[in-house]
Amino acid sequence: MSSENKKDEKIYFFDKPENVKRVLYVFYTLCVILVLADFVIHRHVYLVWENIPAFYAIYGFVACVALVVVAKLIRKVVMRKEDYYND
């Protein structure tokens, strides 16, 4: 493995922090455009909640943060050592 490592000194795309930043900026811009689009494009609305501006964006963000926070709490209850079942 180490000999392969030495040969592999090539710098890859995400090794440069500025590339990571660039990708993230593109991503943030797309997020902003999607929220702005919510005010420009008329959405069909079936349920009351959907009337909230940028409902889906807010819901997606909140849902995922909630998911991770709850999952971390669940970890406190269910997490055991890797060899817990002894096999």
Residues that bind other proteins (CB under 8 A): 1, 4-5, 8, 10, 12, 14-15, 24, 27-28, 30-31, 34-35, 37-38, 41, 43-44, 46-50, 54-65, 67-72, 74-75, 77-85, 87
d(C-alpha 26, C-alpha 61), whole Å: 18
**In the complex, minimum distance from the CB of residue 11 to other proteins, in angstroms, rounded to a whole number:** 10
Structure tokens, 6: 């030495």
**In the complex, minimum distance from the CB of residue 20 to other proteins, in angstroms, rounded to a whole number:** 10
Q: Is 61 helix (H, G, I), strand (E, B) or coil?
A: helix
d(C-alpha 13, C-alpha 46), whole Å: 44
